Amino acid sequence: MAFTTFMASTAGRALRIVVGAALIVIGVVTGGAGWILAVVGLVPLLAGVFDVCLIGPLLGQAFKGSKIRAGS
């Protein structure tokens, strides 16, 4: 599937890391309930760093980005 292939690519991983970091920064700057947003931002950030695609299994793909890139 094209979506999981993109998300497992270098550009997709970079996008997840940037979006996760942005959510964390916005949450911290906002304060108060924004901390919830900061915690949610950890999910895409860590998924990009550890090369996992959380939505992959829901779409019939592998969990690890390397397996998606290999075509498994």
- 16-48 pLDDT, tens digit per residue, is 999 999 999 999 999 999 999 999 999 999 999
Residue-level pLDDT at 72: 57
Residue-level pLDDT at 63: 92
Neighbour-count burial of 46, counting CB atoms closer than 10 A to its CB (0-12 exposed, 13-18 middle, 19+ buried): middle
Residue-level pLDDT at 21: 97
Pick from 41, 71, 42, 52: which is nearest to 8 by CA?
52
The model carries a pTM of 0.86
Domain ranges of the chain: 2-70
